[in-house]
Chain A
Amino acid sequence: MSLFDHKLKDIQELLHKKEVSVRELVDESYRRIEEVDDQIKAFLTLNKEEALKQADEFDRDGAQSGNGALFGMPVGLKDNIVTKGLRTTCASKILDNFNDPLYDATVVQKLKEAKAITIGKLNMDEFAMGSSNENSGYMATRNPWNTDYVPGGSSGGSAAAVASREVFFALGSDTGGSIRQPAAFCGVVGMKPTYGLVSRFGLVAFASSLDQIGPITRTVEDNARLLEVIAGHDHMDSTSANVEVPAYSEHLEKDMKGLKIAVPKEYLGEGVSEEVREAVRKALKVYESLGAEWEEVSLPHSKYAVATYYLIASSEASANLARFDGVRYGVRSEKAENMIDMFKLSRSEGFGDEVKRRIMLGTFALSSGYYDAYYKKAQKVRTLIKQDFENVFEDYDVIIGPTTPTPAFKVGEKIDDPLTMYANDILTIPVNLAGVPGISVPCGFSSEGLPIGLQIIGRHFDEQTVYQTAYAFEQATDFHKQQPQLGGAGK
Chain B
Amino acid sequence: MSEISKEQVKHVAHLARLAITEEEAEMFTKQLSAIIDYAEQLNELDTDHVKPTTHVLDLKNVLRKDEPKQWITQEEALKNAPDKKDGQFRVPSILE
Contacts and interface: CB of A to CB of B under 8 A. Distances in A.
Interface of A: 97-103, 195-196, 209, 235, 238-239, 241, 301, 303-304, 306-308, 310-311, 318, 322, 325-332, 336-345, 347-348, 351, 356-357, 359-361, 363-364, 367, 374, 376-384, 386, 418-419, 433-435, 460
A241 B64 CA distance: 15
Contacts of A345: 19
Q: Looking at B43, B59, B80, which has the most chain A CB atoms within 10 Å of its CB?
A: B80
Given A209-B54, A307-B41, A331-B82, A364 B4 contact: yes
A217 to B, nearest CB: 25
Chain B interface, >50% SS class: loop
Given A304-B41, A348-B19, A418-B31, A328 B81 contact: yes
A419 B36 CA distance: 11
Given A329-B80, A337-B92, A196 B32 contact: no
B52 A344 contact: no
Interface residues of B, number: 50
A375 B51 CA distance: 13
B32 A360 contact: yes
Given A209-B55, A364-B36, 20 more contacts: A239-B62, A304-B45, A310-B35, A310-B39, A311-B39, A327-B81, A327-B82, A328-B77, A341-B92, A344-B19, A347-B19, A356-B28, A359-B18, A360-B13, A377-B42, A379-B53, A381-B47, A382-B53, A384-B50, A386-B56
Interface string B13-31: 1011111100010001001
B89 A328 contact: yes
8 contacts: A101-B80, A239-B57, A311-B42, A337-B92, A342-B91, A344-B18, A359-B18, A379-B53
Given A331-B82, A345-B19, A360-B28, A195 B56 contact: yes
B89 A357 contact: no
B52 A380 contact: yes
